[in-house]
Structure 1
Amino acid sequence: MKTKKERIFYYDFLRAFAIIAVIICHVDAFFGPLTNTTQIVAQMTFHDIGRIGVPIFFMISGALILNREYPSLKFFLKKRFVRIIYPFIFWIILILVPIAYTGGNQTYLWNVFTGNPSFTWYFWVLIGIYLFMPILNSFVKEYGDEALKYFLIIWFALMVLQTFHIELWEHLNLSYFTGYVGYPILGYYLANKEFKISDKKVCISGLIILLISLACFVYLNYIGSSAIESIYENVPMIFMASGLFLFIQYADKLNKFKSIKNNFIGKSIVSLSVCSYGMYFSHVIVTKFLSYYNPHSHLMFPVMFIIIVFLSWLLPYIVSKIPHLKRFSGA
């Protein structure tokens, strides 16, 4: 008889935060008119906190997938792709059919499907990472901590060069070390790293790193710096995601969440985590629908945001309870 796999709460917390963060990035239209600098900076800060969501998703994937034993390559690919492809097909049909019905042309529909530009870009990046993950898994299993440091040092160095728009000479091609693939490795590294300082100091350090890097990111965004043209592939974003990951991970180790784990708050966090992939798609439907009822009010924004998050969770949750549709729900 199969035993129920024990959940790791800080992964659930991070995943719940990540999906809420993604929604944050897509609800700017529900802010009222921005009439002064304070409002602009507040909106930017809110939005830039939301940017952390996607890197956190990738980091959790790496922490859970790397350095594992899999019966075969076919088993790994089937398990991972079934989990993401079925929900994608289900939700993309629900999203594209109304667009087509209301007059969307074929080019626009294709662009939404391929993520060019569209929220679906995350799905295609995830496909690419999963295709490469068995190779990374073997690499990490073979060389362990040494492999992680090797990859991360090169990846971070290239991220620094990219942030400051410094190009290497033409024939030194290190593109296979760049991009989103570094985040899963970073997530696994931080999840398993044993620091020489106390857990409390690591937790506080994570929070400080998060706040300082967020302030830098907001400032660069405010002045229109080209350093963050690639939103997820720059040094401030790496530190933001790392700081949040460590802060939540070690807060959990210090039992800071003990009082909420078994009550309504803890159960809500776990439910958001479980439904997060479905929410990534359903929030597009919810946001589009509620845009017709946008009050354009700073005071009403928190209410609209809570409604969007709730309905985005409710849709995949309901679908997951319908017989034969659970695998399509993303929950």
Structure 2
Amino acid sequence: MKKERLFYLDFVRAIATISIVITHFNARYLYLNPPMPQKAVITTTVANIYIGGWGVSLFFIISGAALMYVYQEKCELKTFYKKRFLNIYPMFWIAYIAAFTYMFYVNKVAPGGEAPKINLIFSILGFDGLLAGNIPTFYILGEWFLGAIILMYLLFPIIRKGILEKPAVTWGIILVIYAWLILGYHYNFNVDKIIFIRMPEILFGMQFVKQNRKFDIREVVVATIILILNTICKPTWSSALQTSYVGIASFIVLVYLSYFLKNKLAVVLCGIVSKYSYAIFLVHHVIIAHMMATFDLNKITHLQSYELFISVFIVICIFAKILYEVHANIMQVVAKVIQKD
């Protein structure tokens, strides 16, 4: 039996999706020489953390919540992993092949041509973005988040069992690992990209759904105060730690707001963005890079930056829709072939 869609998850997912697009659009101004953050659209930070980290934190919380909502009662491993595989890889491979072909045609050289050919396996598996900062890869699209979310899916059945059967022990183990990563980690790999640093966010989302939380206004007030204080005080301690509690506090506030903002139009719009969120995630980076490269960002005004953002976002939506439909049609053909055999 198909479960009813939860509007608050669609609402937060839509906000997180748009925030990631804004992140990579604004990044083009932040990497100019000299940087021009004054031309960024909306903002580059939320409650003293980078807007990209904020959006990713919301995605991890949503992912934990959504998986727990669907699989709380039963999680048959073969069915679970098959569905995760089909939800991630075919669309990723289609988008990767299209982007690789386009970039090869435009640049007259294969992307990542200096990387050892054997490292193409990381692109096939969706881990090229996660590993790109440490080894040469053929990374084009998908970001490090894709590799991290794949690891989350691999671990989810174990985490689910722990949350359902021994929640205190599970939280204890995760928080010990988290504390070590915050306080004692010194290896040459970005700590923000390690899946265990995101586990408190994931577990919070799972616990939120498991408890079928009814909002206590006091929780919302506390969460709001945390966001305000972090914005005003601008603490300099661990950005990973700030991302965790700012993300969780933001989720609480956004879910609370979703109850007041829910109407037919909001349900439709958030549902559409949620439906195409993965396709948007896959295509947005390449489109932003190539569209913004055709403009002299040093000369455009702040107003023109907003006009450019709207244009870029429209193109992203068009290509996300195309990717989604191409993927759906290919999967239908594959399903028919399998059925015949």
- What TM-score comes out, normalization by structure 2 length? 0.73
Q: Which residue of 1 aligns with 2:25?
A: 27
| Structure 2 CA distance for partners of 1:31 and 1:178, relative to 1, 3 Å | closer
Deviation, 1:246, is 0.4
Cα pair 1:83 1:327 within 8 Å, conserved = no
CA distance in 2, matches of 1:177, 1:290: 32
Counterpart secondary structure, 2:198: helix
Q: Give the total of aligned pairs.
A: 297
Q: Which amino acid aligns with 1:304?
A: L
C-alpha displacement at 1:193, in angstroms? 4.7
- Report if the CA contact (8 A) 2:20-2:55 is conserved: yes
TM-superposed deviation, 1:44: 4.4
Distance 1:199 1:192 in 2: 16
**Equivalent residue letter for 1:142:** E
Q: Does 1:271 align with 2:276?
A: no
What is residue 16 of structure 1 aligned with on the other side?
A: 14
Q: Equivalent of 2:114, from 107, 120, 126?
A: 107
- Is the 1:210–1:241 contact (alpha carbons within 8 Å) kept by the matching residues of 2? no
Deviation at 1:316, TM superposition (A): 2.0
Q: Report the CA distance between 1:191 and its aligned residue.
A: 3.9
SS state at 2:261 partner: coil
CA contact (8 A) 1:214 1:236 kept: no
**How many Å separate the matches in 2 of 1:88 and 1:301?**
30
Which letter maps to 2:241? V
SS in 2 for 1:27: helix
Distance 1:182 1:13, change over 3 A: same
Is 1:209 aligned to residue 226 of structure 2? yes
Q: Following TM superposition, by how much is the alpha carbon of 1:19 offset from its aligned partner in structure 2, in angstroms?
A: 1.2
For residues 1-331 of structure 1, the aligned pairs below 5 Å read 5-31=3-29, 39=38, 44-45=44-45, 48-66=50-68, 68-70=72-74, 72-101=76-105, 102=107, 103=109, 104-107=111-114, 113=123, 114-115=128-129, 116-117=132-133, 119-143=142-166, 147=167, 149-163=168-182, 165-166=183-184, 178-193=196-211, 199-214=216-231, 220=236, 227-228=238-239, 234-252=240-258, 255-258=259-262, 261-263=263-265, 265-296=266-297, 297-321=301-325, 324-325=329-330
Structure 2 distance, partners of 1:71, 1:167, is 33
- Structure 1 residues 6 and 49: alpha-carbon distance in aligned structure 2, compared to 1, 3 A threshold: same
Q: Quote the Cα distance in structure 2 between the aligned partners of 1:256 and 1:34.
A: 43
Equivalent AA in structure 2 for residue 140 of structure 1: I
Q: CA deviation at 1:241?
A: 0.7
Task: Tell me how far apart the structure 2 counterparts of residues 158 and 320 of structure 1 sit (CA, whole Å).
Answer: 38
Structure 1 position 105, deviation (Å): 4.4
Distance 1:321 1:38 in 2: 36
List alignment gaps of at least 5 residues for structure 1. 169-175, 229-233
Deviations 1:21-62 (A, max 9, x none): 212221235438687999499964268123211121121111
Counterparts in 2 of 1:325 and 1:294: CA distance versus 1, 3 Å: farther
State the superposition RMSD in angstroms: 3.6
- Report the CA distance between 1:327 and its aligned residue: 7.8
SS at match of 2:264: coil
The whole-number CA distance in structure 2 between the counterparts of 1:325 and 1:211 is 48
Letter in 1 for 2:4: E
- Equivalent AA in structure 2 for residue 152 of structure 1: W
SS at match of 1:300: helix
Cα shift readout 1:141-167 (whole Å, capped 9, x = no counterpart) = 223xxx1x443344345444543x436
With normalisation by structure 1, the TM-score equals 0.75
SS of 1:26 mapped into structure 2: helix
Partner of 1:172: none
Q: 1:40/1:158 Cα in 2 relative to 1: closer, same or farther (>3 Å)?
A: farther
